[in-house]
Structure 1
């Protein structure tokens, strides 16, 4: 299968592509794609913040694959994702298991299969599932209102509801769906695919999910503790990371991460955990904040740290910018100034990935507000990176408690 390989936020490359392929890339908006005006048949392609792999299927042109490699090491990307999903179970140090894979999809498939194998090591978990059905015998409780409304006084069948102890529960349905999703993607390594196919066979008695429906809800408990990591990775496959498009002649299927959101989720989750010893509460994507007194202009800071009595003590925004667009960093500073003004804070904090902004502090004229710019080095080991976040949290707390 022909493949186009790009690097996240790297300079544009010029490649010869069939017109239909170039147009499909442009229409997908996964990358910036435009025909080169100086060289017919050539297309200029540039990747943004999305990384991963996508397969395009076009009648008459065959399949081709787009691969976008992140700038950060694969193991670091998966640490950021794992920590944002579950700080208590995220691997640190050298425990991030992505084998030797250099691409996102093979590494993710490997990591998911390892977690799934650990989860299923003692077999599928079982649980109680509430079932409503029409039956010829009474089982559980009779749904009297439904019996009267549907049966008009007839004794049979009986509308009943009961709790059944089964493997066909939300946790196993999610794991089955994610396993099947990965098996449909062409870039999954052969050995990983073989193990995933073996795991899929263990879900034979578990009902498949209905496409287009919300994922079933599950709740972390002691009984499903060994499944937590696999379930969170499975939800990543089924929710935000998968790409599917099947309308018209073009079919797209793949797996992408948005580095902007990944960095934001990690920074905010790590800051929330690091601020916990200082009391109060940290709210991510804080709601109920307005710029104007009429409450018509809503604002959603990435993180607001509140005192126990509900007064805002600090505000922070995460900015993963692998490039310096026009207006950088002025637009970020203006946004943070608005947050500080609305929340009545004298300090605000912008957190960047290192290389995009230096450590700096800007005292705003006639406002009494200082905006701090911080930089996190994503190339550092997980333990050191988390220590850097704790140092940042200490900075936020010390400024708020003065």
Structure 2
């Protein structure tokens, strides 16, 4: 019986369905002899919920593509391709940031985000390859017709009478076959595998052939990329962006989907929430003058077990870790900020996010926490939520929902023009302010 093909196209945080659900696909989604099921493996990255009415598909902050037998789900980012490319190049320090319209050969609607990452990786490796692959000296021991390096006297003495015109020597050979180049080669092979665009896949294959002589890693692991990054020197530091892109491709394709061998089961999912956090971190560090931004600083002492109950079950009180801690140049903490990749101007605020931000507000010296979220709506405005004591109505703190004009930031990020830098400074000041830009700061808050 022919299975009904399901081709669902969504954007972040969008829900579609119900779709007709065949018995074969239902078996793949749920626990079976092949494993826990595709739905459980994807978890919160992509919610696949089979029900009586059919299959419900709900996207989260992950974008990419999942293919399982007759099911193909594509999640597109709402950010324009050009803007997303500039943001990627800004966050990961890629070259030629201001070249005109880089991603003209990649259409996200047709090829997916992974092709944009593949194109950026191919460009980086091509640039690295044209400059000449870095080589290292490796010690070798061999029998040579002409003496090279150091003569192996002990080996020669053990042989006794010479029976062939070769002498054992120990020497150093300059080679391109070493760990950094091996990781680049493995990254290109991974890029070729996840790429959807044939022309781009051929470019990656051409680079694989150009690295002939470099040994292929059996499997590419995160530890391999970390080792290559830690071994970078002044001569090889230009490979850092390529390693970042390989890490992104490796993270996105690291979901192993088990199913019958005759069925294709692949996934590439990119965490836009993590990427948005990294983008804001770099932007605020560069443009929030006079302030210090620390990433994921643990809040200690917010929760404490009372002495009488501390030894009952030996619990460890939780230590929240907001995305950003804002301090002055002396290190005096001001408040905590969090980044969530969801357009809250268009959608609802999940209660668990409000609970989280409320705890950050109570832990902040100024009793305020800020949630930064991206939006493409020009009319989006800041919202403030008071955290109150129900018994008497007294305000304990406040949570600020602050929109980030992502198209504007994506256009400005990385620019060296004076007017753009001045605009970035104004935006950064607004993002980290306790009060809205159009509201005068109360007298008692001055100097905070």
Tell me if TM exceeds 0.5. Answer: yes
Hey, what does 2:269 align to over in structure 1? 256
CA distance in 2, matches of 1:348, 1:363: 11
Work out the number of aligned pairs and report it: 369
Gaps of 5+ in 1: 58-62, 141-154, 156-161
Hey, what does 1:16 align to over in structure 2? 20
Shift of 1:90: 8.0
Hey, what does 1:372 align to over in structure 2? 400
Question: Bigger shift: 174-183 or 287-296?
Answer: 287-296
Shift of 1:27: 4.0
Shift of 1:237: 1.3
CA distance in 2, matches of 1:381, 1:309: 28
CA distance in 2, matches of 1:69, 1:274: 30
Hey, what does 1:360 align to over in structure 2? 383
Gaps of 5+ in 2: 30-37, 144-148, 151-157, 159-170, 306-315, 389-393, 415-419, 435-445
Contact 2:252 2:268 in 1 (8 A): yes
TM-score for both structures, normalised by structure 1: 0.75
**Inter-CA distance 177–359: structure 2 relative to 1 (3 Å threshold):** same
Shift of 1:100: 4.1
Hey, what does 1:268 align to over in structure 2? 281
CA distance in 2, matches of 1:384, 1:90: 15
Shift of 1:268: 2.4
Shift of 1:125: 1.7
Shift of 1:347: 3.1
**2:293 counterpart (282, 294, 297):** 282
CA distance in 1, matches of 2:41, 2:318: 32
Hey, what does 1:197 align to over in structure 2? 205
Secondary structure in 2 aligned to 1:289?
A: coil
Shift of 1:222: 3.4
List aligned pairs for 1:91-102, cutoff 5 A: 91=97, 94-97=100-103, 99-102=105-108
Hey, what does 2:254 align to over in structure 1? 243
Question: Bigger shift: 292-301 or 115-124?
Answer: 292-301
CA distance in 1, matches of 2:340, 2:206: 41
1:218 aligns with 2:218: no
Shift of 1:176: 0.9
TM-score for both structures, normalised by structure 2: 0.68
List aligned pairs for 1:294-373, cutoff 5 A: 296-322=317-343, 328=349, 330-354=351-375, 358-365=381-388, 366=394, 369-373=397-401
Larger Rg: 2
**2:7 counterpart (4, 7, 10):** 4
